[in-house]
Structure 1
Amino acid sequence: MAEFGIYLLESSICLAGFYFIYKLFLSGDTFTSRNRYYLLFVTFLSLIIPLLSFSFQTENFSAANKFVWEFEQSFQTEILQSNELESETPLFSMISFVWILYFLGVSVSFFRIAKHVFHLFKLIKANEIRIYNGLKIVSVNENSSPYSFFGYIFLNQQILTESEQEHVLLHESIHARQFHSLDLLFVELVKMVLWFNPFIYLINRSLIEMHEYLADRECFNEGIDKVYYQTLLLRNVERQMMFALTSSFNSSLTLKRIKMIKKIDTSKLAHLKIILVIPVVLISLLSFSFSESIPRLSEGNFDNFYPLESLAFPLKSGDQIYISSGYGERIHPITKKKGFHNGMDIAAPKGTSILSVSDGIVTKVNNQFVQGKGYGRFVIVDHQNGFSSLYSQMDSYSVKEGQKISKGDLVGTIGTSGLTTGPHLHFELKKDGKLVNPADFFGKDLSAYLK
């Protein structure tokens, strides 16, 4: 869930940047079609950019400097013997409350959309329908402004004269022909996911404005008198749009529409302002989609790179931190059978910081894990002289693949993401591709960590 939360945050930041470009430089132009597609494109782009991932690496690591596992076998053996360390966690932590609140908002948004669609189809089924230029006119009785939904136009014929009906039907038919309902449906679905982000509501409102401006302009291209058309808008000013997914003749934008009708066309040179979105795209990509470019080690090239001294212990000392299971033969804590333990288990409270044992480069951050199985979340770091270290059973990550880290840097936090009986770090060390006992390489007495 942490990864999804980061995605939502990054997507929201992208959307905010794109909207500011629109509001500051584009919204006042008369290029309504351009603005419509801009709003749709940047909304889609905001969802995509956080999903992209790019990295640049110039050379390859030595093949002997990497972990190679028999995962299926390792998954059965790498578990924690830490029954002594049990910490009570609140039934509902703050993070759990935030996620409950988020999904409650998603549910409310979903049912709101479903309710609107249900009412529209209910009106279609319950009222008389006639055909107008290939569109279906639904005769309704409510005192509302006419509105359209895809190929349906909802109209109360009793409150409009024949001349007014002709103008209104032309306006609403333009909404239908230009698929404005599809735009609104797309934005409503995005609002369901990003309901907490105020900028998606501003984009939705701006898109509705563009729809009305486009329909108004097309009506004038059909030869409708501008003065009569503005009078018709004022007559409908007190009537409200019925549903979020519909395009309304009134749409609560009457004064803005009248101002846009009277506005002088913007110079075509104003199209050049669209290039202002490029810096926002680049900043978003660099911030959310690119990992640090780090020189990689070729075969045998270890000169002047990370001189390896004794390894640092991966956790700071503390009363609740101890080695619960060492390297070598042991009794499996779950199966109770004798087997070989490939690493060292260090018990610690959930959330305890995990530190890098030496300088190195992160070669693996496992995001494809199943909660409660195998190693769970794990990180692999390659070091000097053919050493590699594995940190598993983690709760969260603080590094990315390809990242250069130093001895003592934060790698992540202790957790219970894999097959385990309690919170701990399962640490493994390899030298030239072979497992070794980590205790032989720590430059300190580990007796203080034994129980």
Structure 2
Amino acid sequence: MEAIFIYLLKANLLIDIFYLAYYFLVQKETFFNSNRWFLLSGLFTSVLIPLFFIKKIVIIEAPKLIATNLPSIKNTNINTVIDKSIDWYNILLVIYILISIILILKITSELVSFFSLIKNKKITVNKPFAMVDIDENINPFSFFKYIVFNSTKYSNSELENILNHEKVHSKEKHSLDVLIAKVFCTLFWFNPFVWLYKKAIIQNLEYIADQKAIKNIEDKKAYQMTLLKVVTDHNCLSITNSFYQSLIKKRIVMLNKNQSKQKNVWKYALVIPALIAFVIFFQVKVIAQEKITHHKDRSSGTKQVSEMTWTKDTPDDEIKTDVQSMKKIGVEVNYSDLKRNSQGEITAIKIAFKDKSGKTGSLLYSGDTPIKPIVLRKEIDANDNTKVSLGELAELDNLNQELSIPEPPTPPTPPTPPITKMVNMPKPPTPPTFPTPPNVKAPNDPNDKKAWRKFEEKMEKFEQAWNTEEIKEYENNMKAYEKEMEAYEPDMTAFEKEMEKFESKMEKFEEEMEAYQERIHKSHKD
């Protein structure tokens, strides 16, 4: 159970890394399509990396046993002791699952609401789109191939702008991105960054639709006025790509922003050092493995002792190698019913042996706890009498055996990775209350000069309403905030250089580890 919580913590840490990389590095760039795939790949990378580990195996020599008359243990059952205390992991897991189910049911309810809305409505198929013109007072939106709108609320030119926008959403399957983001919110609901992540995905999809829709529209200003008109209508389903988004002014700013320089794509690569550091610190398993040894005991009563030792961490390929090695010295070993827990530790195994003289023995483990070290030992005394014993290392210790355990050399210390100085960042200014657009519709008759004059006067008043001191102060504060945020870019450059130094130290550390393992082998041979 603990493994599940460790996995969730690791996955959420990676999600946080990807979101912060997006927020500080590429959010302001106009690489909207690249940002889309960066954000999506970040989610899937976050759930996959914690599932894979890099194993570093440290070989140590099995203990040398000097003893006679070792017992053969048959059919030993290891009973599991049940802890009757409160299992808080189980309680937390139940709470986590219940909240996730509630959020999944909410998504299901939204899907049902959508299909109920378009049920019995006239659908005009214009491949690859399905146009649904409804009477309900709801904001225009798209959901996969369906584009839903109320044509009576907008003029022909406004409706054309809206449909161009929604067709981009539908054609590029943006609804799938929204669903993926919402599913991740149901799985990692306890992480505040995952909700910001979903918001960033939806906002970037709007940038993509605006950028591509404006290419098919001659009057850029009319498109922006359409954005302002629909901002007053908040009726929409959260699973859909709605034409309305709360950060409407930011969308307008992005529409008028110059394209980012292509050389700025290098910023995406800055997330790689953070991923490398994550793998080094959390996804490397160091396994101490005991190796089968063949040696001659110099004591007066023993001529030769050969043995193998299996621990809870012994890998399958090592077990097979040991079986072949024992077969070469006349002991046939068979094993079955091998089971491992989520950490890869052996919890159950059945072992049986048979030597050349026909003597047999067996050992059985069954339970949920990892096994204790197992020793299979062949002893040939001075009179060429052979004895094979199978048992736990702890039980053999209780027979007053003399153990000779070599002292391994001190392993090298791994380097410490650099830490970013992204602290005490400035807070963005609080936005003012933006003016409400006039409830006015453009005249249908282009020759009605009086109506057009009245319409233009109201729109002019609305544009003047944006020139208040409060809004100007907000824009100045935003410029100051952006300059303060630019001050953190040198920190990222310095961090990248520190990561390069760290990688060099890690290469040196790996070389020291190889030398360390060679010293262990050498000490065992001696």
The TM-score by the shorter chain falls in which range?
Answer: 0.5 to 0.7
Map of 2:101 onto structure 1 = 107
SS of residue in 2 equivalent to 1:127? coil
Q: Return the offset for 1:193.
A: 1.4
> Would the alpha carbon gap of residues 367 and 242 (structure 1) be closer, same or farther in structure 2, given more than 3 Å must change?
farther
- Say yes or no: does 1:17 pair with 2:13: no
- Say yes or no: does 1:155 pair with 2:110: no
SS of residue in 2 equivalent to 1:154? strand
SS of residue in 1 equivalent to 2:196? helix
Structure 1, unpaired ranges of 5+: 66-72, 303-357, 379-389, 394-415, 419-424, 445-451
Tell me which structure has the larger Cα radius of gyration.
Answer: 2
2:259 to 256, 262, 265: 265
> Would the alpha carbon gap of residues 294 and 132 (structure 1) be closer, same or farther in structure 2, given more than 3 Å must change?
same
Map of 1:291 onto structure 2 = 285
The answer to whether the Cα contact below 8 Å between 1:369 and 1:377 also exists between their aligned partners in 2 is no
CA distance in 2, matches of 1:137, 1:77: 72
Q: Return the offset for 1:300.
A: 4.9
Instruction: Spell out the pairing of 1:76-225 with structure 2 (5 A cutoff).
Output: 77-80=76-79, 88-90=84-86, 93-132=87-126, 134-225=128-219
Q: Return the offset for 1:361.
A: 9.5
The answer to whether the Cα contact below 8 Å between 2:58 and 2:286 also exists between their aligned partners in 1 is no
The answer to whether the Cα contact below 8 Å between 2:168 and 2:212 also exists between their aligned partners in 1 is yes
The Cα offsets for residues 317-365 of structure 1, whole Å up to 9 and x where unpaired, read as xxxxxxxxxxxxxxxxxxxxxxxxxxxxxxxxxxxxxxxxx9x994369
SS of residue in 1 equivalent to 2:236? coil
1:248 to 242, 247, 252: 242
Over the aligned positions, Cα root-mean-square deviation in angstroms equals: 3.8
Map of 1:3 onto structure 2 = 3
Q: Which amino acid aligns with 1:212?
A: E
CA distance in 2, matches of 1:160, 1:249: 13
CA distance in 2, matches of 1:44, 1:158: 42
CA distance in 2, matches of 1:165, 1:3: 53
The answer to whether the Cα contact below 8 Å between 1:428 and 1:435 also exists between their aligned partners in 2 is no
SS of residue in 1 equivalent to 2:55? coil
- Say yes or no: does 1:432 pair with 2:377: yes
Map of 2:52 onto structure 1 = 52
Q: Return the offset for 1:53.
A: 2.0
CA distance in 2, matches of 1:104, 1:81: 30
Map of 2:220 onto structure 1 = 226
SS of residue in 1 equivalent to 2:148? strand
SS of residue in 2 equivalent to 1:126? coil
> Would the alpha carbon gap of residues 361 and 443 (structure 1) be closer, same or farther in structure 2, given more than 3 Å must change?
same
The answer to whether the Cα contact below 8 Å between 1:52 and 1:289 also exists between their aligned partners in 2 is yes
Map of 1:448 onto structure 2 = none
The answer to whether the Cα contact below 8 Å between 1:58 and 1:294 also exists between their aligned partners in 2 is yes
SS of residue in 1 equivalent to 2:390? strand
CA distance in 2, matches of 1:249, 1:131: 20
The answer to whether the Cα contact below 8 Å between 2:312 and 2:373 also exists between their aligned partners in 1 is no
> Would the alpha carbon gap of residues 368 and 245 (structure 1) be closer, same or farther in structure 2, given more than 3 Å must change?
farther
The Cα offsets for residues 180-216 of structure 1, whole Å up to 9 and x where unpaired, read as 0111122222222112122221111111111111111
> Would the alpha carbon gap of residues 185 and 377 (structure 1) be closer, same or farther in structure 2, given more than 3 Å must change?
farther
SS of residue in 2 equivalent to 1:417? coil
Q: Return the offset for 1:284.
A: 2.3
> Would the alpha carbon gap of residues 206 and 377 (structure 1) be closer, same or farther in structure 2, given more than 3 Å must change?
farther
Structure 2, unpaired ranges of 5+: 66-72, 297-308, 317-337, 350-362, 379-388, 401-526
Map of 1:34 onto structure 2 = 34
Q: Return the offset for 1:48.
A: 0.6
Identity rate, percent: 27
SS of residue in 1 equivalent to 2:285? coil
The answer to whether the Cα contact below 8 Å between 2:139 and 2:235 also exists between their aligned partners in 1 is yes
Q: Return the offset for 1:106.
A: 1.1
CA distance in 1, matches of 2:91, 2:173: 39
The Cα offsets for residues 221-278 of structure 1, whole Å up to 9 and x where unpaired, read as 1134221111111111122252222111112221110111121221111111111011
Structure-1-length-normalised TM-score: 0.65
Q: Return the offset for 1:431.
A: 4.7
Q: Which amino acid aligns with 1:167?
A: N
CA distance in 2, matches of 1:276, 1:154: 40
Map of 2:429 onto structure 1 = none
SS of residue in 2 equivalent to 1:432? strand
Q: Which amino acid aligns with 1:436?
A: G
Map of 1:412 onto structure 2 = none
> Would the alpha carbon gap of residues 368 and 137 (structure 1) be closer, same or farther in structure 2, given more than 3 Å must change?
farther
The answer to whether the Cα contact below 8 Å between 1:16 and 1:199 also exists between their aligned partners in 2 is yes
> Would the alpha carbon gap of residues 138 and 229 (structure 1) be closer, same or farther in structure 2, given more than 3 Å must change?
same
CA distance in 1, matches of 2:128, 2:280: 48
Q: Which is bigger in relative contact order (C-alpha 8 A, separation at least 6)?
A: 1
The answer to whether the Cα contact below 8 Å between 1:241 and 1:248 also exists between their aligned partners in 2 is no
CA distance in 2, matches of 1:241, 1:443: 80
